[in-house]
């Protein structure tokens, strides 16, 4: 078998990717950046092959929705114990600034195609990617197995159940967020994205980035004529905001996190995924690239998409501070899912983050408890519409569990002034 360092193999990989239908179907001719991306894949394979059982790259290489700020997304099967997100830095001066995104996956997954096919958006990522390095042929066989099982009713039902449970959890989290309606609004963002994942998956689509870039998938799902989801996102999530107004508050959050939350001395108990996510989300370079992506979305008139994208990053920066505190306490926690209510935790350990976080999540507009209650009701309507449409397509669905905040909202007498209409200056 050819070595990973075989230059002829690298050239063949680049030519193959440049000629791949998923790349050439994009409505533009090749330009130097396309060629650069394909050749960059060769460099990544050269650098990682010694550690990897197999490597896949997302197609098309160039993001059709943000072609000017595209990155490269790789899945790398290797001897790791958990899913590990990271960015890869290559040596030397570069013609273009193209971040390289890696998701390291345990090689043990290659023996568990049926479980992988049912595992949320991970099989979406896998099936939207091309194998570019395969040490023994196992990865190509694994991809074929996952592809065969992906549309099987049992695997799809497990994925749909996972998306539904994520949405239910997000709604439950609202129950400990009544004291901070903007963070409750963020949980509605995540629940809406999970609902969209159900709709896309149920119509045999792929949506690997649905939790950060849901608007990439809305046109196709709305085109079916059965779901009409876009308005639920734009109105229900209050996305009618100028994205440029969120940039400086987001940079301000990053400055605070950089100053106060350097990477901690991790307790032995802290899971590896959380450590990797901490580095990923606290990176200054990562933030600036995300801002460039949001700027491109804004220039293309996709303001709601940019706002959603930036709000996710604001929450992630808030989580850096919260995870930093949990590490100091010697606790093992998930990066994304908070172990405590957000507002009191930040108020106790990093209160300076609260004003910019609130500005980004609310768009500078007042968000009340009543707004959140209305949003939850609207979300239930979206959920029911999706379930009804998928049921009409004979899709096996999970139980239609009740989506309720874990605690009822406080009475008017119990609410903080800023949670009540007229309670703060507009």
Euclidean distance between CA atoms 285 and 215, whole angstroms: 24
More confident residue, 200 or 4: 200
Q: In the chain, how long is the greatest CA-to-CA distance?
A: 73
Euclidean distance between CA atoms 383 and 404, whole angstroms: 13
Structural domains for the chain = 7-150 (3.30.460.10), 156-368+405-419 (no CATH)
Euclidean distance between CA atoms 219 and 86, whole angstroms: 30
Strand 129-134: give its sheet, edge to edge: 84-87, 100-106, 72-78, 52-58, 129-134
Q: Give the count of beta carbons closer than 10 Å to the beta carbon of residue 112.
A: 15
Give the pLDDT confidence of 147-162 residue by residue, as tens digits.
999 999 999 999 999 9
Task: Pull the structure tokens for residue 105.
Answer: 């996956």
pLDDT of residue 5: 39
Task: Pull the structure tokens for residue 155.
Answer: 């695997």
pLDDT of residue 16: 57
* Confidence bin at 2 (pLDDT 50/70/90): very low
- Cis amide bond preceding 60, omega within 30: yes
Euclidean distance between CA atoms 188 and 183, whole angstroms: 9
Euclidean distance between CA atoms 275 and 323, whole angstroms: 9
Residue corresponding to tokens 């239609």: 400
pLDDT of residue 17: 61
Nearest to 150 by CA among 108, 114, 112: 114
Give the pLDDT confidence of 22-56 residue by residue, as tens digits.
444 444 566 899 999 999 999 999 999 999 999 99
Q: State whether the Cα torsion 41-44-50-54 is positive or negative.
A: negative
Euclidean distance between CA atoms 398 and 154, whole angstroms: 11
Q: DSSP character for 103?
A: E
Q: Give the count of beta carbons closer than 10 Å to the beta carbon of residue 329.
A: 9
Instruction: Answer whether residue 21 shows pLDDT above 90.
Output: no
CA distances from 99 to 81, 115, 176, 290 (A): 24, 30, 37, 10
pTM recorded for the entire structure: 0.91
* Confidence bin at 363 (pLDDT 50/70/90): very high
Mean pLDDT, residues 338-349: 94
Task: Pull the structure tokens for residue 119.
Answer: 């595992």
Contacts of 168 (CB under 8 A, 6+ apart): 401, 403
Instruction: Answer whether residue 7 shows pLDDT above 90.
Output: no
Beta bridge partners of 103: 75, 85
Euclidean distance between CA atoms 320 and 351, whole angstroms: 13
Task: Residue count of the chain, please give it.
Answer: 426
Task: Pull the structure tokens for residue 294.
Answer: 């949001």
Mean pLDDT, residues 67-77: 97
Euclidean distance between CA atoms 313 and 318, whole angstroms: 9
H helices, E strands: number in the chain = 17, 5
pLDDT of residue 6: 47
Q: What values do phi and psi take at 171, rounded to 5?
A: -70, -40
Nearest to 101 by CA among 47, 57, 46, 49: 57
């Amino acid at each position: 078998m050819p070595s990973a360092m075989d230059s002829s193999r690298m050239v063949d990989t680049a030519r193959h990717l440049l000629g791949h239908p998923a790349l050439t179907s994009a409505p533009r001719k090749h330009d130097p950046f396309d060629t650069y991306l394909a050749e960059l894949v060769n460099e990544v394979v050269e650098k990682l092959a010694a550690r990897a059982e197999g490597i896949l790259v997302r197609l098309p290489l160039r993001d059709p929705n943000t072609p000017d700020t595209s990155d490269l997304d790789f899945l790398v099967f290797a001897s790791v114990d958990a899913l590990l997100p990271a960015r890869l830095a290559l040596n030397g001066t570069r013609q273009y600034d193209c971040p390289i995104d890696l998701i390291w996956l345990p090689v043990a997954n290659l023996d568990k195609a049926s479980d992988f096919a049912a595992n949320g958006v991970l099989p979406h990522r896998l099936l939207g990617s091309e194998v570019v390095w395969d040490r023994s042929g196992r990865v190509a066989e694994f991809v074929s197995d996952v592809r065969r099982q992906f549309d099987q009713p049992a695997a799809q039902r497990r994925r749909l159940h996972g998306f539904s449970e994520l949405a239910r959890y997000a709604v439950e989290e609202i129950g400990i967020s009544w004291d901070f309606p903007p963070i409750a609004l963020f949980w509605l963002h995540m629940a809406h994205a999970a609902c969209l994942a159900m709709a896309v998956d149920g119509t045999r689509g792929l949506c690997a980035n649905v939790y950060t870039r849901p608007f990439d998938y809305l046109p196709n799902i709305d085109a079916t004529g059965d779901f009409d989801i876009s308005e639920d996102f734009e109105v229900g999530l209050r996305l009618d905001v100028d994205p440029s107004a969120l940039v400086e508050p987001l940079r301000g959050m990053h400055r605070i996190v950089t100053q106060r939350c350097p990477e901690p001395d991790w307790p032995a108990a802290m899971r590896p995924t959380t450590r990797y996510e901490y580095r990923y989300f606290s990176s200054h370079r990562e933030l600036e690239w995300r801002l460039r992506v949001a700027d491109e979305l804004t220039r293309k008139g996709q303001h709601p998409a940019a706002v959603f994208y930036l709000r996710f990053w604001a929450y992630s920066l808030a989580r850096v501070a919260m995870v930093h505190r949990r590490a100091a306490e010697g606790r093992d926690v998930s990066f994304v899912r908070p172990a405590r209510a957000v507002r009191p935790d930040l108020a106790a350990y990093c209160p300076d983050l609260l004003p910019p976080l609130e500005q980004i999540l609310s768009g500078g507009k007042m968000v009340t408890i009543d707004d959140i209650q209305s949003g939850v009701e609207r979300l239930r309507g979206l959920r029911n519409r999706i379930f009804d449409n998928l049921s009409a397509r004979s899709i096996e669905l999970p139980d239609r569990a009740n989506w309720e905040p874990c605690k009822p909202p406080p009475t008017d007498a119990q609410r903080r002034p800023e949670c009540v209409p007229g309670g703060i200056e507009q």
